[in-house]
Amino acid sequence: MRKRLGVILGLLIAVVLLAATAQAGTRGANVTNVTLAGWSSGPDEDTLLNQVVAKFNATHPTIHATFTVINGDYPTAMTARFAAHNPPDVFYVDSSVIGAWERQGVVQPLNTYVKSTKFDTSAFFPKLLGAFQSGKTIYGFPKDWSPLAMEVNKGLLGQAGGKAPTNWSTLLKVAQTMKSKNLTPGGAPICLSPDWARMLAFVYQAGGSLSSITSPAAAAAVNFYVGLLKNGLAETPTQLGVDWCGTALGKGKSAIIFEGNWLLPFMKSTYPNVQYGVFPMVKDKTGGNLAFTVSYSMAKDSPNKQAAWTLLSWLVGKQGQTLWMSKGLALPSRKDVKAIGGRQNFLAAAPYAVGWGFGNPNFSTAYTVMNNDLTAVIAGSKSVSSMLSDIASALKGG
Amino acid sequence: MATASHVVSQPRSSMLGARIREAGWGYGFVVVPIVVFGLFFVYPFGYALYISFFHWGILGKQSGGAGTFNYAKVIHDPVFHTAVKNVLEYTVGVVPLTMALGLSLALVINQKIHGRNFFRSAFYFPSIASSVAITTIALYIFNANGLFNHIIGSRTPWFQNAPTVMWAIVGLNSWTSAGTAMLYYLAALQSIPTDVYEAAAVDNTGAWRTFWKITFPLLRPAHFFILVVFGIGALKLFDQAFIVSNGLGGPNYSTYTPVFYIYRTAFTTFDFGLAASAGVVLFVIIFALTLVQRLTVGRQEAS
């Protein structure tokens, strides 16, 4: 019995040793393994990123990067990894949570690496890089981005005079014409989400900002936005019976919507026959837009920081980003990388679009307050001024 | 003397040995469940209690000393009040409805009807289906242009409208969990001795009267059990509220529940101390309500 146990144990040890040496053999002696993690926006994007990573591995024999998709609730999954001191070396960070993560001390400041490798940061659009900066400290480099634009059904626009609105008053005029001619039966000329991720662009157009959210300019923008919903020129996706404004445009329930670059692949695959144009966001006192952007950042707990920086700086560098842009899934965050065609009205917003996150560590928490209060304002159970003061207090961490 | 004591002590010591051996086997059998219970329930609970007295972030304890400040914040937070109010309304709606539905189904299934096995499975099916899948499908059926509105001729977005959303979840969840309540009631119905029904039949008692005077009172242990188990479950509402509000608890906080509050505080604000204290407060609320049920319905059951 004891002899047999000994034989089994011996065999087990041999198998483990063999597996370990085999593993070491494939990795090679001086190869550093670096893990890269992000969420998945679809199989196309996963395949493309794996191709980009394969290219990196081919050109960097001493580093082996592997990309893992974190499915489900990304911030929650990452929180668990941070807490266990076992995060991926390089990972996606949405601009809306960078402030909170930075304050929790889980994201590595990159300035020393930028300096030591003389990495050129001037190629990035300053507003996009600024979304991941706190003062002069850089916590990530934008991998790509999208602002909002105004998408208009071409046929319906033709019937309403043919000229796309450029400012608030022409937007009102076109919408009124569309409504009086009943061009969107069973719907409304404009689809507006009850979401600050759309309405805040109007606040900036009115000359307001998130940091001065209780200003008259902000209140004017809210009144304009909510007014469109109240006077029937616009309806929310819920009222239109669709999941988002993209579907409303596709189904002809609305003629004018405000969405980002993500609309283009959706329309191509779901409503390929709908003719629509992409126009710059309307203006009021000034141009205002939001920049939804995601960074590649490095974990403070990463054991392979130098190798992680090599991967990160290559991915956001000219070569990496050019590869990443090859399928037009996103817009380049670098001035020296070209976007594929039809994106010029999105890219036009780069100089003034404000990073979604606004450098406020309480932003992701405040966003819950913002949208809950907005639904109350639309329903008429809360005043605009009380919503704006709620938001100001939430942004202060109250 | 020595011999006598030897004679007396021998069976005593062997009896003791047997008892120790028996206890050893007993503990041996429960050691795994106790370790699992300790590791996954007692330890996290104790730890949550501990961190509820600190400022606690992703990487652990933050600056600032210990205190009851998190409890003060939770207790005075209007959003938490709304969350508790929402979940109490939901519980008051969903538990009686589930019990009524479950009991009705159990009464039907308990009859000697054709295909009762089929109906039993069919009624139980929603209980085992994924709540996420069911909620997602319900969102389509009950949206402004959905099937339900086509039938009743309305345009109400039931799940996106602050006054209706909680009641829509009540309807959905009482339907999905009625199957489980049905199983409990079915077991209880089958344990009622047949002689009481025979006596009622001899007295020529009508079906309605038999139900209210015999069946319903004799189901009291089942009522109490279902009330407690489903009540606790209802107070912990999370997934449906999360899905219908896209993770925001809206519109206008109408789907904010205490568990949702805990989730947002922990994973959006990263204030784990505050989230833990909200968890403890929720525990106290559930404990107190269960105690009240025990002292009212439970006492009647005992009598």
| Minimum Cα–Cα distance from B267: chain A residue | A76
Q: What is the predicted pLDDT for the residue at A99?
A: 92
Residues of chain B in contact with residue A79, where contact means CB-CB under 8 angstroms, are: 58, 266-267, 270
β-pair partners for A292 = A146
Average pLDDT score over chain A: 91
* Cβ neighbours for B141, distance < 8 A, ≥ 6 positions apart: B147, B148
Beta-carbon separation of B248 and A372 below 8 A: yes
How distant is the alpha carbon of residue A66 from its chain centre?
22
Q: Shortest CA distance to B82 belongs to which of B166, B164, B159?
A: B166
Q: Shortest CA distance to B37 belongs to which of B25, B26, B46?
A: B46
CB atoms within 10 A of CB A85: 12
Q: Is the peptide bond before B251 cis (omega within 30 degrees of 0)?
A: yes
Its sign, for the CA torsion A305, A308, A314, A315, is negative
Res A135 pLDDT > 50: yes
Beta-carbon separation of B144 and A241 below 8 A: yes
Indicate the pLDDT class of residue A100, thresholds 50, 70 and 90: very high
Q: What is the predicted pLDDT for the residue at A97?
A: 93
CB atoms within 10 A of CB B57: 22
**What mean pLDDT do residues A168-193 have?**
95
Beta-carbon separation of A239 and B157 below 8 A: yes
Q: How far is B40 from chain A (nearest CA, A)?
A: 16
Of chain B, the end-to-end C-alpha distance in Å amounts to 56
Exposed/middle/buried for A127, CB within 10 Å: 0-12, 13-18, 19+?
buried
Q: Shortest CA distance to B235 belongs to which of B89, B72, B79, B75?
A: B89
Q: How far is B231 from chain A (nearest CA, A)?
A: 27
Mark which residues 141-200 of A lie under 8 Å from B by CB: 194
**What mean pLDDT do residues A333-339 have?**
91
B121-130 pLDDT, tens digit each: 888 998 888 9
* Cβ neighbours for A117, distance < 8 A, ≥ 6 positions apart: A309, A313
**What mean pLDDT do residues A304-321 have?**
96
Indicate the pLDDT class of residue B5, thresholds 50, 70 and 90: very low
Q: Shortest CA distance to A128 belongs to which of A307, A292, A300?
A: A292
Q: What is the predicted pLDDT for the residue at A13?
A: 60
Q: What is the predicted pLDDT for the residue at B4?
A: 46
Residue matched to tokens 């007692």: B42
Interface confidence: ipTM more than 0.85: no
Q: What is the predicted pLDDT for the residue at B295?
A: 86
Query: Among A106, A239, A375, whose Cβ lies nearest the Cβ of B250?
Result: A375
Q: How far is A362 from chain B (nearest CA, A)?
A: 7
Q: Which two tokens stand for residue A141?
A: 């480099």
| Mutation for A interface: B161, B248, B262, most A CBs within 10 A | B248
Its sign, for the CA torsion B258, B259, B265, B268, is negative
Query: Among A82, A100, A364, whose Cβ lies nearest the Cβ of B59?
Result: A82
Tell me whether A100 touches chain B (CB under 8 Å): yes
Q: Whole-structure pTM over 0.95, yes or no? A: no
Its sign, for the CA torsion B240, B245, B248, B253, is negative
Tell me whether A83 touches chain B (CB under 8 Å): yes
Q: What percent of chain B stands above pLDDT 90?
A: 57
User: Which residues from B are below 8 Å from A when comparing CB atoms?
Assistant: 57-60, 143-146, 155, 157, 160-162, 248-253, 256, 264, 266-270
A151-170 pLDDT, tens digit each: 999 999 999 988 999 999 99
Q: Highest-confidence range of A43-52, B47-56, B139-148, by mean pLDDT?
A: B47-56
Residues of chain A in contact with residue B264, where contact means CB-CB under 8 angstroms, are: 365, 368
Q: How far is B253 from chain A (nearest CA, A)?
A: 6
| Minimum Cα–Cα distance from A301: chain B residue | B59
Q: What is the predicted pLDDT for the residue at A397?
A: 84
| Mutation for A interface: B238, B270, B272, most A CBs within 10 A | B270
| Helices (H), ranges, B156-193 | 162-190
Res A121 pLDDT > 70: yes
**What mean pLDDT do residues A271-286 have?**
95
* Cβ neighbours for B59, distance < 8 A, ≥ 6 positions apart: A82, A83, A85, A104, A105, A106
A207-223 pLDDT, tens digit each: 999 999 999 999 999 99
Q: What is the predicted pLDDT for the residue at A42?
A: 80
Q: What is the predicted pLDDT for the residue at A5?
A: 54
Exposed/middle/buried for B293, CB within 10 Å: 0-12, 13-18, 19+?
middle
B180-198 pLDDT, tens digit each: 999 999 999 999 998 888 8
Tell me whether A371 touches chain B (CB under 8 Å): yes
Q: What is the predicted pLDDT for the residue at A162?
A: 86
CA distances from A311 to A88, A334, B76, B280 (A): 12, 17, 47, 44
Lowest model confidence (mean pLDDT) among A70-74, A84-88, B79-83, B269-273: A70-74
Beta-carbon separation of A381 and B250 below 8 A: no
Q: What is the predicted pLDDT for the residue at A25?
A: 45
Q: Is A337 or B5 the better-scoring residue by pLDDT?
A: A337
Q: Which two tokens stand for residue B186?
A: 């079915």
Query: Among A73, A239, A367, whose Cβ lies nearest the Cβ of B144?
Result: A239
Beta-carbon separation of B249 and A368 below 8 A: yes
CA–CA separation, B296 vs B224, rounded Å?
A: 10
Query: How do beta strands B60-61 and A141-146 pair?
Result: unpaired
Q: What percent of chain A stands above pLDDT 90?
A: 78
Indicate the pLDDT class of residue A71, thresholds 50, 70 and 90: confident
Average pLDDT score over chain B: 89
DSSP element (H, E) containing A234: strand A234-235
CA distances from A215 to A200, A318, A365, B17 (A): 13, 41, 21, 83
* Cβ neighbours for A367, distance < 8 A, ≥ 6 positions apart: A96, A196, B248
CA–CA separation, B110 vs A297, rounded Å?
A: 62
